[in-house]
Structure 1
Amino acid sequence: FIDEIDGIGKRAEQQRSSDAESNRIINQFLAEMDGFDGASGVLVLGATNFPNSLDPALVREGRFDRSIAVGLPGLNDREALFRLYAGKIRAEQDLDFAQLARNTVGLTPAAIAYIANHAALLAARGGASEVSMAHFVDAVETCRIGEQPSGVTPMSPTDRKRIAVHEAGHALVAAALKVGRVEKVTILPRGQALGVTLVTPVEDKRLHMESELRNRIQMLLAGRGAEQLYFHEVSSGAGQDLQEASKIALSMVGALGMGPNGSLLSLQAVRDAHIEFDSGESIRAADNLLKQLDRDCMALLQRLKPALDEIAERLLAEETVPGEEVLAAIERLPEMHHEASVSSIIGHAMSSIDRVAASAVDNAQFLDLAPVEQPEDDGPGML
Structure 2
Amino acid sequence: MTDLTTSSKTTDIIPGNNAAPHADWRSFAAEILTTLADPEHRIWAYAAWHGSSVVSQTDHIPDATPARADEAAVDPWAEDYEASGILGLDYHVNDATDPSRPDPDAPEDSKRGRPRASVLTAVMRIARQFATLRNLLGTLAAPGAITFLSSGTPELDSTIEQILNAITVSDQRAPGVPKLTACTIEEVFAIGDRKRSGPFGAFSVGVKRWIEDGHPIVITGAGSAVMRPELQAMVSNVIHLVPFSREMLCEVLNSLYPGGEVRADNLPDCLGAAELGCLSPEALTIATRAATPTDAIRRLVADIPLPTVAGPGLADFPLQPAVREPVEQLLADMLAWQNGDIPWSDVSRGILLVGPPGCGKTELPRLIAKEAGITVHPASMAKWQSTGARSSDICREMRSFFTKAAAAAPCIVFIDELDTFGDRGRPQDHNSSWTDMVIGALLECLDGYETGEGVVVMAATNLLHKIDAALRRPGRFDRVVTVGHPTPDLMPSAFRWHLRDDLEGADLPAIAAAATGMTGAEVAESVRRARALARRACRPLTPEDLGTAIAERRPPLAEQLRWQVAVHECGHAIVAHATGRARPKLLSLHTGGGSADMTRAASNLRRADIDDEIACCLAGRAAERLIVGSASGGAGGTEDSDLAHATRVAAGIELSYGLGTSGTAWHGSPDAALYQMRLDPNILARVQIHLDDAEAFAFELLKTNRALLEDMARELMRTCLLTGPTLAALLARTDPQPTVRRAAGPPQQAPSDLTRTTTPARADRLWGRRRK
Normalising by the smaller structure, the TM-score range is 0.5 to 0.7
Contact in 2 for aligned 1:249/1:289 (Cα 8 Å): yes
Q: Helix, strand or coil: the match of 2:560?
A: helix
Mapped pair 1:127 → 2:127? no
CA distance in 2, matches of 1:136, 1:279: 48
1:288 aligns with 2:689: yes
What is the deviation of 1:162?
A: 1.8
1:198 aligns with 597
1: CA distance, partners of 2:598 / 2:701 = 19
Q: Partner of 1:161 in structure 2?
A: 563
1:212-253: CA deviations, max 9, x gaps? 443232122111111111132222323343233223322333
Judged with a 3 Å threshold, the aligned counterparts in structure 2 of structure 1 residues 8 and 257 are, in CA distance, closer, same or farther, namely farther
Listed one character per residue, the Cα deviations across residues 113-170 of structure 1 (whole Å, up to 9, x for unaligned) are: x9977553367555249xx999999999655896594234443332222222122111
What SS does the aligned partner of 2:551 have? coil
> Is the contact between residue 122 and residue 135 of structure 1 (CA under 8 Å) also seen in structure 2?
no
Q: Distance in 1 between matches of 2:555 and 2:633?
A: 19
The 1:70/1:236 distance shift into structure 2, 3 A limit, reads: closer
CA distance in structure 2 between the partners assigned to 1:181 and 1:283 by the alignment? 31
Q: Residue 278 of structure 1: CA displacement?
A: 4.5
Does the aligned pair in 2 maintain the 1:257–1:264 contact within 8 Å?
yes
1:107 aligns with 2:488: no
Distance between the aligned counterparts of 2:515 and 2:559, measured in 1?
Answer: 30
Specify whether residues 121 and 256 from structure 1 end up closer, same or farther in structure 2 by C-alpha distance, changes over 3 A only.
same
Residue among 430, 435, 456 paired with 1:55: 435
2:582 match: 180
Shift of the 290–231 alpha-carbon distance from structure 1 to 2, 3 Å rule, reads: same
> SS of 2:590's equivalent?
coil
Answer yes or no: is 1:238 the counterpart of 2:635. yes
CA distance in 2, matches of 1:326, 1:270: 35
Aligned residues, how many?
A: 285
- Residue 309 of structure 1: how far off its partner (Å): 1.6
1:50-77: per-residue Cα shift (whole Å, max 9, x none)? Answer: 45376333466x995365567599xxx9
Deviates more, 1:293-302 or 1:215-224: 215-224
Per the alignment, residue 613 of structure 2 pairs with: 216
User: Could you say which residue in structure 2 is the equivalent of 1:372?
Assistant: none
For structure 2, the 5+ residue unaligned runs are 1-376, 408-412, 425-431, 448-469, 485-490, 527-549, 746-772
Q: Could you say which residue in structure 2 is the equivalent of 1:279?
A: 680
CA contact (8 A) 1:183 1:199 kept: yes
Task: Give how far 1:292 is off.
Answer: 0.9
Is 1:297 the counterpart of 2:698? The answer is yes
CA RMSD of aligned residues (A): 5.3
Return the letter of the residue paired with 1:57. M
Structure 2: distance between partners of 1:145 and 1:208 = 36
Match of 1:65 among 444, 447, 454: 444
Q: 1:2 to 1:141 in 2, by over 3 A?
A: closer
Asked if 1:319 is matched to 2:683, the reply is no
- Is 1:350 the counterpart of 2:744? The answer is yes
Aligned AA for 1:158? Q
Task: Verify the 8 A CA contact 1:186 1:319 in the aligned structure 2.
Answer: yes
**Post-superposition CA distance 1:228-285 (Å, at most 9, x none):** 111322223233432332233223333333435444331469989xx9x943222222
- The answer (yes or no) to whether the contact 2:516–2:590 under 8 Å persists in 1 is no
Residue 702 of structure 2: SS of its match in structure 1? helix
The match for 2:546 is none
CA shift digits 1:2-40 (9 cap, x unpaired): 93349979xxxxxxxxxxxx9x8425427958x99xxx9
Please tell me the residue identity of whatever aligns with 2:572. Answer: H
Cα separation, 1, equivalents of 2:629 and 2:618: 15
2:80 corresponds to which residue?
none
Residue from 353, 374, 379 that aligns with 1:3: 379
Say if 1:257 and 1:266, in contact at 8 Å, map to a contact too. no
Give me the whole-angstrom Cα distance separating, in 2, the residues matched to 1:251 and 1:58. Answer: 28
Which residues in structure 2 correspond to 1:143-158 (within 5 Å)?
Answer: 143=519, 147=523, 149-151=550-552, 152-158=554-560
Q: Secondary structure at the match of 1:264?
A: coil
Conserved in 2, the CA contact under 8 Å of 1:184 and 1:323?
yes
| Rounded Cα–Cα distance in structure 2 between residues aligned with 1:115 and 1:324 | 21
CA change 1:303–1:269 in 2 (3 A) is closer
Matches of 1:57 and 1:329, distance apart in 2: 54
User: What code does the residue aligned with 1:350 have?
Assistant: A
Bigger share in strand? 2
Cα distance in 2 for residues equivalent to 1:303 and 1:43: 62
Q: Which residue of structure 2 aligns with residue 225 of structure 1? A: 622
Give unmatched runs, 5+ long, in structure 1.
10-21, 79-103, 109-113, 341-345, 352-383
**Residues 118 and 307 from structure 1, CA distance in 2 versus in 1: closer, same or farther, beyond 3 angstroms?**
same
1:304–1:117 distance in 2 versus 1, CA, 3 Å:
closer
Question: Cα distance 1:173–1:216, how it changes in 2: closer, same or farther (>3 A)?
Answer: same
Residue pair 1:115, 1:140 contacting (<8 A) in 2 also: no
Distance in 2, Cα, partners of 1:207 & 1:135: 43
Cα offset, 1:301, TM superposition: 0.7
Give the distance between the partners of 1:139 and 1:316, measured in 2 at CA: 16
For the 8 Å contact 1:171–1:197, the answer to whether it is kept is yes
Which letter maps to 1:165? Answer: V
The structural deviation recorded for 1:173 is: 1.4
Amino acid at match of 1:183: K
TM-score by length of 2: 0.30
Q: Secondary structure at the match of 1:150?
A: helix
C-alpha distance in 2 between matches for 1:153 and 1:140: 13
1:26 matched residue in structure 2? 390
Distance (whole Å) between structure 2 residues aligned to residue 123 and residue 208 of structure 1 = 47
In the alignment, the residues of structure 2 paired with residue 70 and residue 118 of structure 1 have an alpha-carbon distance, to the nearest angstrom, of 35
**Counterpart mapping for 1:260-275 below 5 A:** 260-267=661-668
CA distance in 2, matches of 1:187, 1:42: 45
SS in 1 for 2:649: helix
TM-score (norm 1): 0.55
2:577 alignment partner AA:
A
- Kept in 1: contact 2:571–2:702 (CA 8 A): yes
Further displaced range: 216-225 or 240-249: 240-249
Aligned partners of 1:143, 1:31: CA distance in 2, in Å? 35
Greater CA radius of gyration, 1 or 2? 2
Residues 262 and 270 from structure 1, CA distance in 2 versus in 1: closer, same or farther, beyond 3 angstroms? same
1:331 matched to 2:698? The reply is no
After superposition, what is the alpha-carbon deviation per residue over 1:323-371, rounded to whole angstroms, capped at 9, x for unaligned?
54333223235x44xx49xxxxx9x9639xxxxxxxxxxxxxxxxxxxx
Distance 1:42 1:312 in 2: 53
For the 8 Å contact 2:581–2:612, the answer to whether it is kept is yes
CA distance in 2, matches of 1:267, 1:250: 10
Look up the equivalent residue of 1:182 and give its one-letter code.
Answer: P
Instruction: Give 3-state SS (helix, strand or coil) of 1:65's partner.
Output: helix
Q: Secondary structure at the match of 1:234?
A: coil
Q: Which residue of 2 aligns with 1:250?
A: 651
Give the % identical residues: 19
Distance change >3 Å, CA 237–CA 5, structure 1 → 2: closer
